[in-house]
Amino acid sequence: MPDLQDAKRLIWAHHAAIDAAAPEATGDALARDAAADYLWRGYHPFGEIRGAEAIAARFWTPLKRALTRMQRRDDVFFAGANSLDGAPGVWVVSMGHLMGLFDQPWLGIAPTGKMTFLRYCTFHRVDGGRIHETAMYFDIPHLMTQAGQNPFPAQTAQHLVQPGPITHDGLLFDPQPPEEGAATLAAINAMIGDLGQWQSGLPLEQELARTWHDDMIWWGPEGIGATYTIERYAKQHSGTFRAGFADRSSTTHIARLAEGHYGGFFGWPNFTARPTGGFMQLPGSDTAGEFRVIDIYRRAGDKLAENWVFIDLLHFWKSQGRDFLAEATGATA
């Protein structure tokens, strides 16, 4: 496996090349570092795309033409070996916002001519000095809301332009003590173990307190929002989410890793569940939907303190018969 520092240098330079390239030259910047079998996963309406040229043509070039003078504003950057059995590899993670002037339509979303932020997170798998796989998850509904085209009903929590860690130490350019990454991964795994099938036997707030600090922040996506403290998280998201769903499948991740005080995972999908009791103030159904999710965590001491969450809600609701992107903009999925 590649050295973590080598992998981080590759991805930092890769992002710089993408950012510096003119829209029509982004494919060349991608191809410089991508393997021949390069697989890219993105949120609805993109899905899986293979090959640097196709990825640039479908995602990067239209986005860069829409968000002129685009700049990347990263808050978290780390790397690690995948901890999951049977899936070896080094992954490099970055999280933040892509900011630009929204000057041209994108996915049917009308431009504003104003600063606009696309919240995003990427997981890149590096091997042999090449990028073989990328998961790039982004919050399109949040961009839509900034443009005055909010696709969802009023959310139970609050979504603003989300800041990075309160500690301002999320860019891990230098090597980190291995024991710190191991402690972060242990905290994440303990939380996942408690989550299980929502059958820990404890009241929700007591369950959460086992692995979360009381002043935790859950930075959720547009449509749900962010929430602060265990009590408000339980009331404004976790409790209502559990009450609204049945038949939650087991959790499946493609990559789960940590470095220093930061860690995270993603799946495709992470799990499925049926919204029998309704979700996001919308009616329920008996149809199972997929949840494609990235979670990024900051650990403080022996518990988790902050969690940035990316959920492909457009994909989930399309499985329920609602194409919110098309309804709000007339875009074709």
What pLDDT does residue 332 have?
45
Tell me how far apart the alpha carbons of residues 230 and 52 are, in angstroms, rounded to a whole number.
42
Residue 138 has pLDDT above 90, yes or no: yes
pLDDT tens profile 44-97:
999 999 999 999 999 999 999 999 999 999 999 999 999 998 888 999 999 999
Residues 106 and 199 in one domain: no
Tell me how far apart the alpha carbons of residues 58 and 259 are, in angstroms, rounded to a whole number.
32
What pLDDT does residue 333 have?
39
The answer as to whether 161 is a domain residue is no
Residues 137 and 184 in one domain: no
Containing domain of residue 41, as a range?
Answer: 4-146
The answer as to whether 165 is a domain residue is no
Residues 182 and 321 in one domain: yes
**In a 3-state reduction of DSSP, which class is residue 57?**
helix
pLDDT tens profile 317-333:
999 999 999 998 865 43
Residue 197 has pLDDT above 60, yes or no: no
What pLDDT does residue 199 have?
57
Residues 200 and 314 in one domain: yes
Residues 287 and 182 in one domain: yes
**Which residues lie below 8 Å from residue 227, measured CB to CB, with a gap of 6+?**
157, 158, 217, 218, 220, 233, 236, 237
- Residue 225 sits in a domain whose CATH number is 3.10.450.50
Structural domains of the chain, count = 2
The answer as to whether 36 is a domain residue is yes
Residues 133 and 206 in one domain: no
Residues 199 and 98 in one domain: no
Residues 92 and 226 in one domain: no
Of the listed ranges 12-21, 41-50, 177-186, 239-248, the least confidently predicted one is: 239-248
Give the chain's mean pLDDT. Answer: 94
Residue 187 has pLDDT above 90, yes or no: yes
What pLDDT does residue 2 have?
66
Tell me how far apart the alpha carbons of residues 83 and 144 are, in angstroms, rounded to a whole number.
35
Tell me how far apart the alpha carbons of residues 201 and 101 are, in angstroms, rounded to a whole number.
49
Residues 186 and 44 in one domain: no
